[in-house]
Structure 1
Amino acid sequence: MTLFYYSLIATIGWVSIIIYLLINGKKISYLKLQPLAETEPAVAIIIAVRNEEADLEKALQSVCNLHYANYRIIVLNDRSTDGTAAILAGFTGRYPQLTVTHITTLPDGWLGKNHALYQGYLNSTEEWMLFTDADVAFHPDSLSKAAAYVTKNRLDHLCILPEVISRSEMLNGMLGTFTLLFMLQFRPWAAINPKSKASIGIGAFNLIRREAYEKAGTHQRIKLRPDDDLKLGDLIKAAGLRQEVLAGRGYIGLEWYRNVGEFVNGLMKNSFAVADYSVLKTIGGIIAILALIALPVPLMLILGTPAERIMACLILFFQAIFMASPVLPNKWWHAVMIPFAGLLLAYISARSAFITLKQGGIYWRDSFYSLDMLKGKTGKAI
């Protein structure tokens, strides 16, 4: 009987969640549907790079060939030790709109990427700044369409949800679950609503009006946040400024991680930070993931009665509908990966907290930051 009630609650919960996400997901429009800009405000595209030789050339080629007359590219080479500098040297000779600043030292109290992006701001004067990553590929018309949208809608901040793919089919299946949880937690469609607490920040595409960035406090207020893109969105929203999100399918894309191992290691660095370094929040999140994401369908299918197995199939049906929805590029069969992805995300949260607490902080780009320092209490990076 206990399993029956658990199954019933899980079924009602999942059906409600999927309907909620499908209805609200339709509120997110597509970048590709927007018109091209009639006037082009000045934009500085700011890219922080460190040891990016694997992806940099392809991504930077797309940025250098945007169909937009009034833009400049500022690349901050943050202490790279691979072939990144040589790749950048080849681009500076061919593209006069690109400038490179080589950062050789990191001031105390900063994470490297955050410091580099802030230096990009200091080296720019443009009305708009686009903070993006070194592995993001742009459609030639993407910036023009984004500029048209922020102008028409009088926005201070525009994020684009990128089309995320991987060469690993297993990871592609898991990314659908990550998308689902991201949408549920951050409610990006509500960021435009001034009465909502929802905010949005996307590392692949944060287009911010200069005046708004300064009013929000710049990266100086998030010097030590590994989740700097999300926190920048928080600052913009907290300052009472207008932000919105578009889906970038076909226009903004990246291979986030190549395989499951890279995915685990990448999320391990900042998942405890997303929980504000709170053990209670982490434990609560893990329990929720296990009880609501990882366990319901397997338990119902393996241990359940025929009625409970029917409910499990109903959950899978609705999950498949979400995975096949057009907002982000998932496939319906990615629904069967949800339990495994839930277990993996719970593991990532637990291990991230354990490692951070055990070593008393985090290692980020070869520097160690204590928990006291990350929480803003004291200290220098080691």
Structure 2
Amino acid sequence: MPTVTLLAALALALALLPLGLGLLNLCLYRRPKAEPPPDAAVSILIPARNEEATIAAAVRAALSSCGVSVEVVVLDDHSTDRTAEIVRALAARDPRLRLETAPPLPPGWSGKQHACQALAGLARHPVLLFQDADVRLAPDAARRACGALLAGRAGLVSGFPRQETGTLAEALVIPLIHVLLLGYLPMVGMRWSGSPGFAAACGQLIAVRRDAYERAGGHASIATSLHDGMTLPRAFRRVGQGTDLFDATGLARCRMYRGWREVWSGFSKNATEGMATPVALPVWTLLLFGGHVLPWLLLGCAALVPLPEAAVTLAALAAAAGLLFRLLLAVRFRQSLAGALLHPVGILILLAIQWSALLRARRGRPAEWRGRAYPSTSRTGAP
């Protein structure tokens, strides 16, 4: 068999892997339906650093929660804008809202983990719901998250909000979160196994039982991390506390980054805790480039030079499989159609971000986020 046909066959196999696993995962990845006990109470905890553009909407949405008793605690993490002023004005009108000030950031801590650890100590209720300041909860989100947590045995549950995108750069890269999650994480294994290797969460929206959180060491156990979506559920699993995921598309929404610069910086800051390690990134490059980009390159070559018919057929099937999966996700999670149709371009950008982050780490250059610099680290992991 000619080499190009073998290459096309490999591309098809790599394209069918996420499609097949993704179809299975889509059956398991659902909006929570369990109801919490009548006396359930939730502390909604929001770390905020220079969030004047988003904090009012986030707080108002959290205060609109229904079906459970809530308190909302905002921790102002030494903002230099009007964040504290805005929250203070809202708190004057609603006693369920409190504004607190973060202690000084200790050496070795990342800002968000330190803020979340402080928030957990300030919370009054047994269920802690950590959300980012750019997340908007639906009125039933806290109730659904609390129900999902208390109905099972997991100590941590996390939902992926609807990811809003406003620019092409956002539409190309941000929806790939669902491609990686549903195309490459076996959710059956996540629910049947307590292995930290199956850990996954979305740092934008995480609910925990207070007792399980304390047993896992809280955010202090991941003090240096910039990727709590991976490292916090791993900490829970290491002490025997289960973790689970649910679809929060209809329960919350978030525009996590705005424009090309924020997309690159945001995905770069914690890359070395996920894909961008010397061991993991070559594997991810094979999976993503081989399954989502290579088929289109082969079809492009076929338009220029004659290729074996079998190779063209295999490449076309691979391209169709990858595009079908991406379009299914776009429909299910209300994502940009343009971003889906340009899926191979998004994959190339994602890989460029990861390789750039790995090279930055190898050179000892720090990651920067929210005006703070953090030493780069390389750990074996997966998104």
The residue aligned with 1:89 is 88
C-alpha spacing 1:159/1:189, structure 2 compared with 1 (3 Å): farther
The residue aligned with 1:379 is none
- Structure 2 CA distance, aligned partners of 1:71 and 1:160? 18
SS of the residue corresponding to residue 231 of structure 1 reads helix
**Conserved 8 A contact 1:247-1:328:** no
The alpha carbon displacement at 1:317 in A equals 2.7
C-alpha spacing 1:171/1:299, structure 2 compared with 1 (3 Å): farther
SS of the residue corresponding to residue 20 of structure 1 reads helix
1:246 aligns with 2:250: no
TM-score by length of 1: 0.88
SS of the residue corresponding to residue 363 of structure 2 reads helix
1:119 aligns with 2:118: yes
Amino acid in the other structure paired with 2:25: N
State the aligned residue count: 371
Amino acid in the other structure paired with 2:200: I
The alpha carbon displacement at 1:285 in A equals 3.4
C-alpha spacing 1:218/1:142, structure 2 compared with 1 (3 Å): same
The residue aligned with 2:311 is 308
The alpha carbon displacement at 1:220 in A equals 1.1
**Conserved 8 A contact 1:272-1:352:** yes
Amino acid in the other structure paired with 1:210: R
C-alpha spacing 1:199/1:40, structure 2 compared with 1 (3 Å): farther
- Structure 1 CA distance, aligned partners of 2:137 and 2:282? 38
1:228-257 per-position Cα deviation (integer Å, ceiling 9, x unaligned)? 231101111222223221111221111122
Amino acid in the other structure paired with 1:229: G
C-alpha spacing 1:129/1:189, structure 2 compared with 1 (3 Å): farther
Task: Map 1:271-310 onto structure 2 (within 5 A).
Answer: 271-275=271-275, 278-303=277-302, 304-310=307-313
Range with greater deviation from structure 2 (152-161 or 1-10)? 152-161
C-alpha spacing 1:107/1:344, structure 2 compared with 1 (3 Å): same
C-alpha spacing 1:313/1:266, structure 2 compared with 1 (3 Å): same
How much is the aligned-residue C-alpha RMSD, in angstroms? 2.5
C-alpha spacing 1:368/1:318, structure 2 compared with 1 (3 Å): closer
SS of the residue corresponding to residue 251 of structure 1 reads strand
**Conserved 8 A contact 2:323-2:343:** no
TM-score by length of 2: 0.88
- Structure 2 CA distance, aligned partners of 1:119 and 1:59? 19
**Conserved 8 A contact 1:62-1:137:** yes
- Structure 2 CA distance, aligned partners of 1:366 and 1:174? 23
* 1:341 maps to which of 346, 353, 372: 346
1:324 aligns with 2:325: no
C-alpha spacing 1:127/1:19, structure 2 compared with 1 (3 Å): same
- Structure 2 CA distance, aligned partners of 1:365 and 1:168? 21
Amino acid in the other structure paired with 2:358: A
Amino acid in the other structure paired with 1:236: F
- Structure 1 CA distance, aligned partners of 2:37 and 2:352? 49
- Structure 1 CA distance, aligned partners of 2:252 and 2:343? 25
